[in-house]
Structure 1
């Protein structure tokens, strides 16, 4: 899994209250060109959403499970068809439990947490919550950790996404500024409009 090759360097974060709406959201995102989605396990029926989305989209989509807290979470997500995992942090259960052989993005904020994530073998560090320090903090972290791939998550909108990428992020994780209320049953047409705006902004930045 190469994060720099994600379409528009974007990982969509789908978190909602309705599993059918969450599935429609993942499918619509893929139809509109955002083919990498993380379905948070806080969403009711999240594993069902991943399983159904995998069935619909096959290998065309990069589907992950987010808010993975335990080794059991990880195993169930892999069984459902997730091909990556995302954690908000690194607890003892994840450190010591057997994990499926798929990439993990480990949440971290402080330098010590970044070191722990890299020692764990994380594919990338999920800088979370990125909004606490913003792009300037990412830039400061990259001075001692120039080889660590960072994916900022938390409060990322179009403007800050461009600044994070300019500061060296390999990709960005974006939730409500892109997904909105679609995973709660909101308008899919509005979702498509947000995706179109996002794609235009990110494509221009990456190309330029």
Structure 2
């Protein structure tokens, strides 16, 4: 996956689904259900039990073109392991060694940042987009403030994003929003979650309400 491919996918879908859980089989089922239902930009967090195996199995089912990435990448070793497992893009919680390693491997990367200094550093390190994290710290007001000095930077707020705040962040100019628990629920945990299809439908409808920013 090239950087432009990831940006286009985020621009089109507006939702980055974040899967984390304690049951590898349930996590795999969740990833596949998301793709099958039209939320097809998905991050599997390395905090998921057997996350690399989940990535590899999902990649085998979904094929090489699926926008399937790995998140919570902190070290260069994390990035290399995720790439071997089939991750097409990298997501980091901050500007760590993982950002430079992802760029060295040719992987698009969403680098975590929350201050102007961190945003500037993420861009200097070659981030494809900035993961505004934790987005709940400053809310949509922080995003609007950051877009003044960084008007062309693609921002993807992550952290504490529910349906209400997702709508507000998208209206404030986010390229997309990263959503974990409020979308996934307990689907990736033992026992699953029968309400996942309804939440997928709700978030897909929400994402279509707000036109994507052009700058």
TM range (shorter): over 0.9
CA contact (8 A) 1:18 1:44 kept: yes
Alpha-carbon shift at residue 202 of structure 1 (Å)? 1.8
* Alpha-carbon RMSD: 1.7
Give structure 2 stretches of 5+ with no counterpart: none
Larger displacement relative to structure 2 (57-66 or 8-17): 57-66
Matched, 1:113 2:144: no
1:3 aligns to 2:23 (yes or no): no
Partner of 1:192: 197
Residues 54, 63 of structure 1: 8 Å contact kept: yes
Inter-CA distance 109–117: structure 2 relative to 1 (3 Å threshold): same
Contact 2:13-2:41 at 8 Å conserved across structures: no
Give aligned pairs, total.
206
In proportion to residue count, which structure has more helix? 1
- Which of the numbers 118, 126, 135 marks the counterpart of 2:131? 126
Name the counterpart of 1:63.
Answer: 68
Structure 1 contact 16–44 (Cα < 8 Å) conserved: yes
Match of 2:33 among 24, 28, 36: 28
C-alpha change, 1:188 and 1:30, in structure 2 (3 Å) is: farther
For residue 189 of structure 1, report the CA deviation from its aligned partner: 3.0
1:94 and 2:98 aligned: yes
Aligned pair 1:42/2:47, yes or no? yes
TM-score (normalizing by structure 1):
0.93
Q: Distance in 1 between matches of 2:99 and 2:169?
A: 29
Contact 2:21 2:188 (8 Å CA) reproduced: yes
Normalised to the residue count of structure 2, the TM-score between the two structures is 0.90
